């Protein structure tokens, strides 16, 4: 088989592995930029909107990883029933340790990975809350994965700015 004779079936599998690696890199960035911050710092709002780093990580856990992969892609009925309003994800109760929020993000990423690796790139969405959001703008697992990579990267950038405002630390990105 020559390079130009790669089957259509092999391309999506390789593509999904590459996309999953890209998502994993953004997840590591989210956690890495916050490494070493104490509890007070991860809860301190540094922008006028009032969000804090810990709330953003919880948002990524619940509204991004859990919503898009376990609910939308996999159609997990238990997950769908457990969904809360968007504002709730950003609010981390004071008695919840930061380590619990970070651990839950890691756990949810593992659950997402299980969905991604067992679902075809071209698989249609299993569920979509049309009553809340109208018709879906994403249609396949691939679409969702690309969306989540973009959203996670965007929020990693927000965390970069927040961290620099908190203590001057910057995330080194080699290009």
Q: Each residue of 114-140: pLDDT tens digit?
A: 999 999 999 999 999 999 899 999 999
Prediction pTM value: 0.90
- 14 belongs to a structural domain: no
Dihedral in degrees, nearest 10, Cα atoms 54, 87, 24, 122: 180
**pLDDT score of 86:** 61
Q: Each residue of 41-62: pLDDT tens digit?
A: 999 999 999 999 999 999 999 9
- 57 belongs to a structural domain: yes
Cα angle at 77 between 118 and 117, to 5 degrees? 10
- Average pLDDT score, the chain: 91
What is the band of 84 on the pLDDT scale with cuts at 50, 70, 90?
low
**pLDDT score of 173:** 67
65/114 Cα distance (integer angstroms):
12
Q: Each residue of 2-52: pLDDT tens digit?
A: 444 444 455 455 899 999 999 999 999 999 999 999 999 999 999 999 999
DSSP, collapsed to helix, strand or coil, labels residue 87 as: helix
pLDDT at 162 over 80: yes
Q: How many domains is the chain partitioned into structurally?
A: 1
Dihedral in degrees, nearest 10, Cα atoms 65, 68, 69, 74: 150
Instruction: List, as one string, the DSSP characters of 88-104.
Output: HHH---TTS-HHHHHHH
Tell me which residue has tokens 């593509």: 15
- 5 belongs to a structural domain: no
- 11 belongs to a structural domain: no
77/51 Cα distance (integer angstroms):
30
Domain that holds residue 81: 19-167
Over range 77-100, report the average pLDDT.
Answer: 87
- 6 belongs to a structural domain: no
Using CA of residue 13, residue 14, residue 19, residue 24, what is the dihedral sign? Answer: positive
Alpha helix locations (H) across 118-140? Answer: 130-133
DSSP tag of 124: B
- 28 belongs to a structural domain: yes
**pLDDT score of 120:** 95
- 43 belongs to a structural domain: yes
CATH number for position 79: 1.20.120.450
- 4 belongs to a structural domain: no
């Amino acid at each position: 088989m020559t390079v130009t004779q790669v089957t259509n079936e092999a391309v999506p599998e390789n593509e999904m592995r590459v996309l999953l690696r890209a998502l994993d890199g953004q997840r590591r960035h989210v956690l890495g930029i916050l490494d070493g911050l104490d509890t007070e710092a991860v809860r301190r709002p540094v922008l006028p909107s009032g969000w804090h780093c810990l709330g953003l990580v919880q948002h990524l856990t619940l509204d991004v990883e859990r919503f898009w992969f376990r609910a939308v892609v996999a159609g997990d009925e238990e997950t769908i029933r457990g969904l809360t309003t968007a504002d709730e994800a950003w609010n981390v109760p004071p008695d919840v340790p930061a380590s619990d929020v970070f651990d839950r993000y890691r756990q949810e990423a593992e659950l997402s990975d299980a969905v991604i690796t067992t679902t075809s790139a071209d698989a249609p969405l299993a569920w979509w809350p049309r009553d809340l959001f109208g018709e879906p703008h994403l249609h396949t697992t691939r679409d969702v994965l690309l969306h989540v990579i973009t959203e996670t990267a965007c929020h990693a950038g927000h965390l970069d700015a927040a961290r620099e405002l908190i203590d001057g630390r910057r995330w080194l990105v080699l290009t």
